[in-house]
Amino acid sequence: MRVVMFCHSLLSDWNHGNAHFLRGICTELLADGHDLRVFEPVDAWSLQNLIAGHGNEALAEFGRAYPQLSSTRYDVSTIDIDEALHGADLVLVHEWNEPSLVQRIGEHRKRNTRYTLLFHDTHHRSVTDPAAMSRYDLSGYDGVLAFGASVAAVYERHGWGSRAWVWHEAADTRVFRPLTAEKEGDFVWIGNWGDDERTAELQEFLIDPIADLGLTACIYGVRYPAEAQARLAGARIEYAGWTPNFKAPEIFARYKLTAHVPRRPYATALPGVPTIRIFEALACGIPLISAPWSDSENLFTPGKDFLFASDGADMKQKMHNLLREPIQAAELARHGRETILRRHTCAHRVKELYGILEEVGSPATTMAGGMN
């Protein structure tokens, strides 16, 4: 079948964590033999920041890492929707698109019933900024793919879209996998500062325990203001800045331990949504300790796949224990990766997508050779 995707950016992962999942889904669709076209805006803020900070070499790195993937960059004021959607069987529209574009695609779907149109939400704005989400006209869409049951419930409660399915993010295990490297330090964290959505949490669950234990630690990410970098320096934590998302496996391989610190909306208002970072780390086979969030959908087995830390003191103790007990740490990493391989790969999510299309009664289901 012909699949068309509209997303914020496939080319850039600068402060754009969804790039991992979108790239993985595109890779699996291509592997299943489907025709794929991806569109992203020419002025995408993620891509603009990437090029401004790291030049065109960053794009060249993406091309080397994902030679099978490409995107068409468009101007929202001039894009020809008829041409972009010509021959489409399935159209996926990610939520980081202009409301005007979302509406135009929906209007096109009302006039053309041969394809299935789905809106894809992987953010917390449905609860933190409902006014922004209500601007999206989803009346022409067949439904919503929500990355957690709590997000799907928000859509159903507000009447945004005809229906919503739960479609969690997952790991692209073609890229995110265990690698072997000499250890350079005790602890690594890959994540962005997150504005003020987890400043206190990063202090409690990362900075203070690392400083108290005197660990050799490194943090990667963007949008760390001077005050944040000063906090890291005060704790003797190396700040390494941006790294391409697809280099996470080789980074994880050089450290003994990592952590997950969810942004506040995911820990409080959207239970059951772990975000991509847990999938990434577990797929790479590194032991992980997580700050609190509610695994209400039983995606994992806490205590076997990873450890939960109730507060900063507990995080400090669990870091200390895992670093002193490498056999326990290795078993935790092994079990976590097995859970990813068994339930949470992008290949699993593509199969779930096929099931959703069958449920919709999509004409695409009769054309998808990979739907089995």
Six-digit token pair at 365?
């289901």
For residue 257, what are the CA distances in angstroms to 23, 200, 215, 287, 303? 26, 21, 11, 5, 15
The pTM (predicted TM-score) of the whole model is 0.96
Q: If phi over 0 gives left and psi between -120 and 50 gives alpha, with beta otherwise, what is residue 214? A: left
Per-residue pLDDT of the chain (372 residues; tens, 9 = 90+): 999 999 999 999 999 999 999 999 999 999 999 999 999 999 999 999 999 999 999 999 999 999 999 999 999 999 999 999 999 999 999 999 999 999 999 999 999 999 999 999 999 999 999 999 999 999 999 999 999 999 999 999 999 999 999 999 999 999 999 999 999 999 999 999 977 889 999 999 999 999 999 999 999 999 999 999 999 999 999 999 999 999 999 999 999 999 999 999 889 889 999 999 999 999 999 999 999 999 999 999 999 999 999 999 999 999 999 999 999 999 999 999 999 999 999 999 999 999 999 999 977 665 554 454
Q: So what's the pLDDT on residue 76? A: 96
For residue 304, what are the CA distances in angstroms to 155, 308, 316, 369? 33, 10, 19, 37
CA distance 350 to 31: 11
Q: What is the CB neighbour count within 10 angstroms for residue 64?
A: 9
Q: So what's the pLDDT on residue 196? A: 81
Q: So what's the pLDDT on residue 367? A: 52
Query: What are residue 144's phi and psi, to 5 degrees?
Result: -125, 135
Output the CA angle 341-287-253, nearest 5 degrees. 85
CA distance 104 to 42: 18
CA distance 173 to 169: 12
CA distance 59 to 64: 9
Q: Report yes or no: 185 and 252 within 8 Å, Cβ to Cβ.
A: no
